Structure 1
Amino acid sequence: MSVEIIKSQIFKFLSSDEPEVMAIKGQWGVGKTFSWKKFLNEACEENKIKLERYSYVSLFGISSLDAFKYTIFENVVKREIIGTEASIETFRANTTSLMESFGRQSVNFFKGAPIVKSFNPAIEAISFLSITNTLICIDDLERKGKSLDIKDVLGLVSLLKEQKRCKVVLLLNDGEEGLEDYDKYREKVIDIELSFVPDPKECASIAYSGSADFHGRLQELTSNLNIRNIRILKKIERLIDLAIPLVNEFEPEILDQVMHTLVLYSWSYFCSNTDDDIPPLDFITSKGYVLLGIGDDEIDEQEKGWQTTLQAYNYQLTDDLDLMLAEAVKTGFFVENEVIKQSEIKNQQIIASKSENSFSYAWGLYHDTFNDNSDEVINGLYESFKANCKHITPTNLHGTVTLFKELGENHKASEIIDIYIENRREETELFDMDENNVFGDIIDSEVIQKFNNVHNQAVPLETAKQVLDRIAGKSGCNGSDETVLVNTTVDEYFCLFKAEQGRNLSNFITTCLKFRQFSKPTEQQREIANRATQALERIASESEINKRRVKKFGVSIQSA
């Protein structure tokens, strides 16, 4: 049933004072409550609501009929202020109106009393008497308290219609457990039952009013992924509203990337736990050029399906700006200076990419054809790389190197690594693999080795003592720390352990030896532990007392 049909039936229902009960059923999250309130407000603005009073009631946590009745009374507002939440003032007006029916003396007593719900238990007892000719919306039927039975709710709904001449709307989730009594008694109670099953485009139209310039593009993106959950659609809109001031001064492609990525990541983050066909966010952000068919990573059938989904959405590669957006999806806020920084970098790349000889244009020779054009692809990328390497990220370098090597162009692959280093050597942070390879996308050993060499030459290395002072007692260290420790000789470890005294001595030794205790230690980590062990064996061999001192670290006396 289309949203337009639903809307027309709601308007028809509201424009009559004939007592009726309407049920609106639909899956959780598709916007039943959101749409009801939206259509109700529109009808109010167009003077199409016949009854003069309205009450919205959520049954969430309500455990008795008395509480249910009183909540209806408590939430009544006049037709003219539909869209305004019930408040102390509306409660005062309702109670004053009720007391007027008992005479002037009762009114004077009430007006002098504090507004406390339980100031007079009689108010609760008689409040339901005032509920007549009222439009009532009852939401969250399936979330009622355990002590309140659905058959009793429906019984009260029937009474409201038959004896109180009310119009009642029930909003409920289709397919939820615990609604058996609804199915059993609906024939006796429900006059109109609407099935609220909007398609993704209709859900986007409900969530996005069209008042913002980006709403059209946003509807296109969310519909592409078949997002129907209104809460998720609104979360996406909120994040884009927050992002626009951060990227508005850049090329329009930046905002489009932000929108494109936030829609995908939000859908993935909030929906993949309940739908195995939706790629998890970690999968998306950790895949680089594998999504383009470059590299030898083995993937299972499920991951193949995820890749097909990403390709259909035209998502090709995760860059540093995307990683900032992923964190925003998880946390609900942007680290503004980081987003601006990455947007500036990407903006320069986009400006460069608009030239005819750009790197992006050269990659089109690979993406956009099935022609047997390996030589053309290699030469185009090679020449473009030399011209544009100032705007190319390490991840893009790695993808190009990998492609060259897979097509048998090892020499050119090595050459572009060297060209990249020669042109960008002064950007020291660019070659820090600990910072720029968080997700392990860069796996080519030649790239890693050459980057590490550049970084190590540019950044003064600490001594083993300085590293151990900093990392002792902590849960981990970075690659630069390991580089220092693996390049420390047995003699240097011997002198270091002999020179230290007090608590530092034990901390230094245990930190070095723990590298062999990792579940899958690398060759480098094993070597650190081995050299420290050899130094301890030398110390143990010096005297009987040192044998015993070394033993407590797990170094065998026999081996000393």
Structure 2
Amino acid sequence: MSIVQVEKALTDFAVHKTGSAIVLKGEWGTGKTHLWNKVIKKHRGSFDRKTYSYVSLFGLNSLPDLKRSIFENSVPTEKAGSVTTKESVFENLKKLEFSDATTGLRKMFGYGKEAKIPFVGSFGGVIDSIQYAMVKDTIICIDDFERRGIALSARDVLGLISNLIESKDCSVILILNEGSLQKDDEFFTFSEKVFDYEVRYAPTLDEAASVVFSTTDLYEKKIVENVKKLEMNNIRLLRKVRYFANLIKPFVDGKFDEILDESTKLIPLAIYAKYSGAEKVVSIEDLEKYKGGLSLFPPDKKELTVEQKAIEDKKIAKVNFFREYGYDEADNFTMEIIKLVKNGYADSNSLVPLIDSITAVSEKSKRRKIFTDAWFVFHNDMSITDADLLDLFEKAVIESGGAANPYEIDGVLEIFTAAGLEERGRSIVDEYFKVLFESRSLTNRNEMYRLPKNPYIAEKLEQYFGDVRKAWSIDELVDNYLGKQFSGEALESLSAFTADQFYTYFKLLGSPKFKSYAQSLVDLGSRTELADIQSHYAVVFLKVFEALKRMHDESPLMALRMNKFMDYQPMYDHKINLVRQVDES
């Protein structure tokens, strides 16, 4: 049912008494409780019954607990949907009309752990004797059925609902997460005897998005486009998307459109990957590892076992998922978004310089688009002539400025070779590698989706990797790789430097580089699990923090200037203790 249909069914139940007991069911997080609260707040002035009570079974362990909750949470229907307060409970207890009820209530709410009500005994005893007897002519909402305590059985809950209907002239709605119960749960044995009908709530993508996001805000409209690509109709997850999107909005607002597009694309994807459960195609770890890639050639076909084929099929499904969504690769910006989602907060010290440096990433994206557009024409535009197609690819390789990957250039050379123009293709390859040698944008074979097949390109690649293995200084490494993801040989090279060398590097690093460069380096420590002390990330972090701590301890004024980095002290202490434990063992 759509939101409109479900809302009408719930309104009919609450206002016109169409049924004494119903079930509102749907998938986890789709906003069932939210919709019910919307209905009662909108129509509570038209309720025929005098009283309303909302009860969550979360944590309730007995039938007396449930009866007590129904009584305590009762409010006049004109206040339905309001949060139960101490005053509303007080009003309910005053109905008991004991001569010194006020004194007993004062004890209960402030002067004693257990209130004694005259002639009855402890407050808990009232539930079984008097309070439940006063529950009548009430609309009762019972929520979180699947999260009830172990000692509170489905039989007990459904038996009480039956009693409320038959003996108390009440109407009861049970809110249930579909698929949350085991097949042998007692609910299925007794539910048909208790409930008149079920209402299934399954909002469409548009309906779910309209509950959470603005339809006029450009930033949120971009987010909605992407959550719909992911087919996310879980309102709880959509609220997480909005929460994290709002955290990062101040950092991307007013920046390049490419940055805005990336943030509104990455946040929904990260939430999907982390929280969507078993049905998700990719995990948060897949986002961190993905290097993208577009090629003329499909993956090599080999004889695989059943198990190997299943693993390969999963990999292919993940690659296809990322390509269809428009996710290119895990760069520094991606890693910061993932860290944001993992940690639940925005670190301005790392995000601000990252946003400032993301301009370079945006430029790379623009250059890559020239290349990917050429491939799109190759696969889809059959009207273009061979000569024009070759000119298009030559222009794309030259203007992309090394933004393409070597295995993509492999496909270009294959096209020119098929056209009988291999020499022209090789000259284009030479131009590509000339730019690649200058930019050093590729640091590790592991960054490549696959190695090129053409011997000419493979030889060029070997020359390239042989050159990038030369000894680089800290300054060269950081200058070349800031704004990208530190990885592979570049990170390994950084890990070889000592804390003293990092100290000297920082002392000589002038404005305005110091803050952003130091932050990017020390932040490498959060890229690994706390227990991982052998990765290059962790090794670099330990040495960088030691250098910054040494600067911090030089003088009180220097300490004040360097305090922004001391938040990493607990992480450093934890990792260094693990190092000592390994050394001692």
Spell out, residue by residue over 1:102-131, the C-alpha distance to the aligned partner (whole angstroms, 9 max, x if none): 4xx234433553416731225434222232
Q: Is this contact kept in 2: 1:290–1:297, CA < 8 A? A: no
1:37-52 to structure 2, matched below 5 A, reads 37-44=37-44, 47-52=45-50
Corresponding residue to 1:167 among 163, 167, 171: 171
**In the superposition, relative to structure 1, how do residues 157 and 439 fare at CA in structure 2: closer, same or farther (>3 Å)?**
farther
Report the Cα offset of residue 23 of structure 1.
1.0
Report the Cα offset of residue 137 of structure 1.
0.7
Partner of 1:508: none
Amino acid corresponding to residue 217 of structure 1 in structure 2: K
Verify: 1:281 aligned to 2:300, yes or no. Answer: no
Say how many residue pairs are matched: 445
Verify: 1:301 aligned to 2:313, yes or no. Answer: yes
Partner of 2:305: none
Partner of 2:435: 419
SS in 2 for 1:169: strand
Report the Cα offset of residue 197 of structure 1.
2.7
Verify: 1:384 aligned to 2:399, yes or no. Answer: yes
TM-score by length of 1: 0.68
Corresponding residue to 2:470 among 434, 453, 466: 453
Question: What is the rounded CA distance, in whole Å, between the counterparts of 2:474 and 2:342 in structure 1?
Answer: 37
**In the superposition, relative to structure 1, how do residues 252 and 43 fare at CA in structure 2: closer, same or farther (>3 Å)?**
farther
1:467-482 to structure 2, matched below 5 A, reads 479-480=492-493
Q: Which runs of 5+ in 2 are unaligned?
A: 117-121, 302-310, 416-421, 452-460, 478-488, 499-585
TM-score by length of 2: 0.66
- Identity, in percent, stands at 23
Partner of 1:255: 260
Q: Is this contact kept in 1: 2:291–2:448, CA < 8 A? A: no
Corresponding residue to 1:72 among 70, 75, 81: 70
Report the Cα offset of residue 449 of structure 1.
3.5
Partner of 1:185: 190
Corresponding residue to 2:375 among 366, 372, 375: 366
**In the superposition, relative to structure 1, how do residues 61 and 111 fare at CA in structure 2: closer, same or farther (>3 Å)?**
closer
Corresponding residue to 1:201 among 203, 206, 216: 206
Partner of 1:514: none
- Which structure has the greater CA radius of gyration? 1
Report the Cα offset of residue 419 of structure 1.
3.5
Question: What is the rounded CA distance, in whole Å, between the counterparts of 2:196 and 2:19 in structure 1?
Answer: 10
Report the Cα offset of residue 8 of structure 1.
0.4
Q: Is this contact kept in 1: 2:398–2:432, CA < 8 A? A: no
Question: What is the rounded CA distance, in whole Å, between the counterparts of 1:459 and 1:215 in structure 2?
Answer: 40
Question: What is the rounded CA distance, in whole Å, between the counterparts of 2:495 and 2:252 in structure 1?
Answer: 39
1:23-102 to structure 2, matched below 5 A, reads 23-44=23-44, 47-96=45-94, 98-100=95-97, 102=98
Question: What is the rounded CA distance, in whole Å, between the counterparts of 1:25 and 1:383 in structure 2?
Answer: 58
Report the Cα offset of residue 441 of structure 1.
6.6
Q: Is this contact kept in 1: 2:378–2:389, CA < 8 A? A: no
Partner of 1:532: none
Partner of 1:494: none
Verify: 1:113 aligned to 2:107, yes or no. Answer: yes
SS in 1 for 2:182: coil
Spell out, residue by residue over 1:186-212, the C-alpha distance to the aligned partner (whole angstroms, 9 max, x if none): 333212311223333333334446475
Amino acid corresponding to residue 106 of structure 1 in structure 2: D
Spell out, residue by residue over 1:150-196, the C-alpha distance to the aligned partner (whole angstroms, 9 max, x if none): 22211211221222222211011333116643333333321231122
Report the Cα offset of residue 51 of structure 1.
3.3
Q: How big is the alpha-carbon RMSD for the aligned residues of Structure 1 and Structure 2?
A: 3.8
Spell out, residue by residue over 1:48-90, the C-alpha distance to the aligned partner (whole angstroms, 9 max, x if none): 4443432221112322211110011122234344443222222
**In the superposition, relative to structure 1, how do residues 481 and 234 fare at CA in structure 2: closer, same or farther (>3 Å)?**
closer
Partner of 1:234: 239
Partner of 2:9: 9
Q: Is this contact kept in 2: 1:203–1:229, CA < 8 A? A: yes
Partner of 1:145: 149
Q: Is this contact kept in 2: 1:160–1:166, CA < 8 A? A: yes
Spell out, residue by residue over 1:417-440, the C-alpha distance to the aligned partner (whole angstroms, 9 max, x if none): 443555x6xxxxx77949xx9967
Question: What is the rounded CA distance, in whole Å, between the counterparts of 1:215 and 1:246 in structure 2?
Answer: 15
Verify: 1:375 aligned to 2:408, yes or no. Answer: no
Report the Cα offset of residue 239 of structure 1.
0.9
SS in 1 for 2:59: coil
SS in 1 for 2:378: coil
Question: What is the rounded CA distance, in whole Å, between the counterparts of 1:142 and 1:178 in structure 2?
Answer: 13
Corresponding residue to 1:269 among 266, 271, 274: 274
Q: Is this contact kept in 2: 1:433–1:451, CA < 8 A? A: yes
Amino acid corresponding to residue 84 of structure 1 in structure 2: S
Question: What is the rounded CA distance, in whole Å, between the counterparts of 1:294 and 1:54 in structure 2?
Answer: 65
Spell out, residue by residue over 1:247-289, the C-alpha distance to the aligned partner (whole angstroms, 9 max, x if none): 0021233222211121122212223x513x6123333442324
SS in 2 for 1:228: coil
Report the Cα offset of residue 132 of structure 1.
1.9
Q: Is this contact kept in 1: 2:50–2:138, CA < 8 A? A: yes
**In the superposition, relative to structure 1, how do residues 157 and 38 fare at CA in structure 2: closer, same or farther (>3 Å)?**
same
Q: Is this contact kept in 1: 2:30–2:233, CA < 8 A? A: yes
1:432-443 to structure 2, matched below 5 A, reads 433=443
SS in 2 for 1:369: helix
Report the Cα offset of residue 295 of structure 1.
9.0
Question: What is the rounded CA distance, in whole Å, between the counterparts of 2:58 and 2:281 in structure 1?
Answer: 31
Verify: 1:156 aligned to 2:160, yes or no. Answer: yes
